[in-house]
C-alpha cells in the first residue's frame, strides 16, 4: 500500500442516494477536512453511510481502505467506536441522564482512558462535572456542549459532524472549532455536513476540500 493509500481514512465511490441521482466520489486523508454541502433535506443519509450504520443504495463507502459492507458486525462496531459524531437531531437517549449519554459509547466500545478523555473535553466545553440529570432539566446550551463532549471523548480518528454549530453562540463556536483543530493536529479527519459554511468556520477548517457530485 502506498503512502497516499495508507493515509486515507474515508473514501466514497459513486455513492447515490436515489436511482439516477447524482453520484458522489471523494477521499479524506488523516488530518484532512471535507465539507459536504447538505442541509438534511436530500436523499443522502451521509452520517449513516460514512459510519457504516447502513450502506448507500448505490456506490461504495470505505473506512481505512475496507468497504463497510465487507466488515463483520464486531469489526464494524469496533471501528465505529473510533469515530466521533454530532447529530443534527441531537442524538440523546431519553432514558439516560446526560452524564450516562456521554459515558455510553465509551462503555459500549470499551475505550481505554475514557475517564480522562471525557473529563478533558467536558472541561474544555465548560460542562464538568457532567450533570446526572435528564435532558429536560438541562439548559439547551449545556445539552449541546455535552453532546460535543460525547463526540470528542473517544479520541476519534475521524469526526462526522452534522450541522454541529446550528444556533450556537460565538463563544461556544470558538470552543468547538478549537476542539476540531486539536483533533486534526493529532491526525484525525473531519467530515462537515451543512448546507453552507460561514467565513469563520471555513477559515478554521482550512485546508478544506469541498465535495461535489460528479458531472456527466
pLDDT at 40: 74
What integer pLDDT is reported at residue 4 of this predicted model? 45
Mean pLDDT of 92-113: 87
Domain that holds residue 46: 3-210
Q: How confident is the model at residue 39 (pLDDT cuts 50, 70, 90)?
A: confident
pTM of the model: 0.93
Span 187-193, mean pLDDT?
98
169, part of any domain: yes
pLDDT at 113: 83
Read off the pLDDT band of 6 (50, 70, 90). Answer: low
CA angle 184, 193, 124 (to 5 degrees): 45
List C-alpha distances in Å: 153 to 48, 83, 104, 113, 120.
20, 10, 11, 9, 8
pLDDT of 3 strictly over 60: no
**Residue 109: band (very low, low, confident or very high) from pLDDT cuts 50, 70, 90:** confident
Instruction: Indicate whether 149 pLDDT > 60.
Output: yes
Q: Is residue 40 part of a domain?
A: yes
Cα–Cα distance measured from residue 30 to residue 36, given in angstroms and rounded to the nearest whole number: 17
- CA–CA gap between residue 68 and residue 212 (Å, rounded): 22
Burial of 140 per CB tally in 10 Å (0-12, 13-18, 19+) = exposed
> CB atoms < 10 A from the CB of 5, how many?
11
* Confidence (pLDDT) at 106: 84
| Number of domains forming the structure of the chain | 1
66 falls within a domain:
yes
What are the pLDDT digits (tens) for 44-91? 999 999 999 999 999 999 999 999 999 999 999 999 999 999 999 888
Residue 117 lies in a domain: yes
Q: Environment class of residue 169 by beta-carbon count within 10 Å: exposed (0-12), middle (13-18) or buried (19+)? A: exposed
Confirm whether 216 is domain-assigned: no
pLDDT at 169: 97
CATH of the domain at 93: 3.40.50.300
Supply the pLDDT for residue 114.
87
Q: Could you tell me the CA-to-CA distances from 125 to 121, 149, 173, 189 in Å, in that order?
A: 6, 7, 10, 20
Distance CA 150, CA 99 (A): 9
Question: Over the stretch 125-147, which tens digit does the pLDDT of each residue have?
Answer: 999 999 999 999 999 999 999 99
**pLDDT at residue 10 greater than cutoff 70:** yes
Q: Is the CA virtual torsion 15, 38, 72, 20 positive or negative?
A: negative
pLDDT, position 216: 61
Amino acid at each position: 500500500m502506498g503512502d497516499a493509500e495508507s493515509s486515507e481514512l474515508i473514501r466514497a465511490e459513486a455513492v447515490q442516494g436515489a436511482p439516477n441521482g447524482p453520484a458522489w466520489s471523494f477521499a479524506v486523508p488523516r488530518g484532512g477536512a471535507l465539507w459536504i454541502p447538505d442541509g438534511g433535506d436530500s436523499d443522502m443519509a451521509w452520517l449513516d453511510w460514512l459510519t457504516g450504520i447502513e450502506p448507500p443504495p448505490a456506490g461504495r463507502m470505505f473506512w481505512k481502505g475496507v468497504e463497510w459492507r465487507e466488515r463483520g458486525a464486531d469489526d464494524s462496531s469496533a471501528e465505529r467506536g473510533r469515530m466521533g459524531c454530532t447529530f443534527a437531531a441531537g442524538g440523546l437517549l431519553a432514558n439516560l441522564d446526560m452524564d450516562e449519554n456521554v459515558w455510553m459509547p465509551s462503555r459500549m466500545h470499551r475505550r481505554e482512558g475514557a475517564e480522562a478523555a471525557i473529563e478533558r473535553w467536558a472541561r474544555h466545553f465548560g460542562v464538568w462535572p457532567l450533570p446526572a440529570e435528564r435532558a429536560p432539566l438541562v439548559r439547551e446550551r449545556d445539552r449541546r456542549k455535552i453532546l460535543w463532549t460525547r463526540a470528542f471523548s473517544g479520541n476519534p480518528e475521524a469526526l462526522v459532524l452534522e450541522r454541529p454549530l446550528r444556533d450556537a453562540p460565538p463563544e461556544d463556536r470558538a470552543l468547538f472549532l478549537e476542539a476540531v483543530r486539536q483533533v486534526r493536529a493529532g491526525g484525525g479527519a473531519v467530515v462537515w455536513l451543512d448546507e453552507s459554511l460561514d467565513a469563520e468556520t471555513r477559515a478554521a477548517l482550512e485546508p478544506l476540500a469541498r465535495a461535489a457530485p460528479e458531472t456527466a
